[in-house]
Structure 1
Amino acid sequence: MTDALLDPRPSTLDRAAFVRQFGDVYEHSPWIAEQAWDIGLDARHDTPAGLADALAAVLDAADTERQLAVIRAHPDLAGKAAKSGALTADSTREQAGAGLDQCSEAEYERFHRYNDAYKARFGFPFVMAVKGSDRHRILAAFEQRLEHTPDEERRTAIEQIHRIALLRLNDRVTR
């Protein structure tokens, strides 16, 4: 999949078209696409993996506060926004694909407890690339990651956000 070309090819787009097409890859953070375009794109960035690398480099180079803002732009998993239909289309598909829209009331309660405990400990929501996972594995990841230090968890959240971006770009090849 990573050898397939994105259509339209990122390297052929002007800045406005590029941001329209790829500005939503990082949740509510179009500045990442803007900066990637400003740095420069070429044919290497026309594949999902190539573009994901360029976008990831922008976020990795950002200061801690900007990284935290990107993490905080993500919704709680199986949270109120999901139940009310307020998620982005990508987040809705991703959470539904992991079965989070089919939680029992007891599971929703468990997600809420973990979401609250996680945010109290780290100051940002739990972020996980849930595509290909299920609610049981996600809940287990919550338990494990609650043991991280704040720095470890910020780095883990950024890694997961990069994974989400790559998965979203791969999905755009098949659309």
Structure 2
Amino acid sequence: MNLADVNALSPTAFVDAFGDIAEHTPWVAEVAAIARPFATREAMVDAFQAALARAPRRDQEALVRAHPDLAGKAALAPDSRKEQAGAGLGTLTSEELERFTDLNARYRERFGIPFILAVKGATKFQILEAFSARIGGGREEEFLTALAQVMRIIRFRLEERVDG
């Protein structure tokens, strides 16, 4: 889709087209739509990221918690499935899957949120390295890191859907 098409969408059509960008949290698209017309794709990305950054903490937390565990068994949204498969998480050995499962559980127990990493372009080894590096961090630091990673995911997904 090109930017002219994006700008021409009704508010409802915009949310229909982009309501899943932030892990099936349509309010992000609803808020971003207010910033139209977008002069550039970068301005569109900025609008989505600003919507998340300015949201009340409870809404940010709900969005973070809506993300699936990496290499988990939950049903994934199409974008998440594609991103995780691209990082090799669909072809883990049983030992690797066990390690991801253990790290996911420990991370959720420690921080109360899923481990979030924008996996596009990463390998399973890089993801495990990030997991190990972040699991010892502080609660607020990890929440802010999770939000930053969600913003990266939003960028990647919009760049994939909207022509530059």
1:28 aligns with 2:24: yes
Q: CA deviation at 1:152?
A: 0.7
1:41 aligns with 2:30: no
Letter in 1 for 2:59: R
**CA shift digits 1:70-118 (9 cap, x unpaired):** 000000000111xxxx211100100000000010000000000000000
Q: CA deviation at 1:10?
A: 2.5
User: 5 Å matches for 1:70-81?
Assistant: 70-81=63-74
Equivalent in the alignment of 2:95: 106
Q: CA deviation at 1:7?
A: 5.1
Q: Find the aligned partners of 1:62 and 1:118 in 2 and give their Cα distance.
A: 24
Q: Find the aligned partners of 1:141 and 1:77 in 2 and give their Cα distance.
A: 12
**How many positions carry a matched residue from both structures?**
163
**CA shift digits 1:116-143 (9 cap, x unpaired):** 0000011010010001001111011011
**Aligned counterpart for 2:2 among listed residues 6, 22, 37:** 6
- Tell me if the contact between 2:3 and 2:38 (Cα under 8 Å) persists in the aligned partners: no
Does the residue aligned with 2:126 lie in a helix, a strand or coil?
helix
Question: Matched residues, percent identical?
Answer: 45
Q: CA deviation at 1:64?
A: 1.5
Equivalent in the alignment of 2:48: 55
- Tell me if the contact between 2:38 and 2:44 (Cα under 8 Å) persists in the aligned partners: no
TM-score, normalized by length of structure 2? 0.94
User: 5 Å matches for 1:75-154?
Assistant: 75-81=68-74, 86-154=75-143
TM-score, normalized by length of structure 1? 0.88
**CA shift digits 1:17-73 (9 cap, x unpaired):** 100111111002001111222x331232x51x2211101111101121111100000
- Tell me if the contact between 2:64 and 2:146 (Cα under 8 Å) persists in the aligned partners: yes
Q: CA deviation at 1:148?
A: 1.5
**Aligned counterpart for 1:15 among listed residues 7, 11, 18:** 11
Q: Which runs of 5+ in 2 are unaligned?
A: none
